[in-house]
Amino acid sequence: MATIEIEGRVLEVDGDGFLADPSVWDENLAAAIARFDGIQELTEKHWSIVRIIRNNWLEKGMAPMIRVICQQTGLKLREIYELFPLGPARGACRVAGLPKPDGCV
């Protein structure tokens, strides 16, 4: 298994850079993973998306539908795609510390 080093912590990740153990996630890690994706600083809009994804994961064990993210944040679909250039799955879900979703993403 691959590893990444973030602020002195060595963490296991899968080949796509998703955390192997979602429970080690915290907000500092989220910010660091986002920087790998070219997001220098997570804004309040980014955080609102990340928190919904994280809570959905904790409650239901899966990433939320994009509808839930749009309706709870009031953001438009295109804004979400712009905020996370790698998209909701490889971008936002990875920042939120989830495992990589199955399927064509």
Kindly list the residues in this chain that would bind other proteins in the complex (CB under 8 A): 14-18, 37-38, 62-63, 65-68, 70-71, 77, 85-90, 100-105
Which residues lie closer than 8 Å to 50 by C-beta, 6 or more apart? 30, 42, 92, 95, 96
Known catalytic residue at 104:
yes
- The C-alpha R_g of the chain, in whole angstroms, comes to 13
Q: Which residues have CB under 8 Å from 66's CB, separation 6+?
A: 77, 80, 88
**CB nearer to other proteins: pick between 7 and 59:** 59
CB of 69 to other proteins, least distance (A): 9
| Beta carbon of residue 68, minimum distance to other proteins (angstroms, whole number) | 8
Catalytic residues: 104
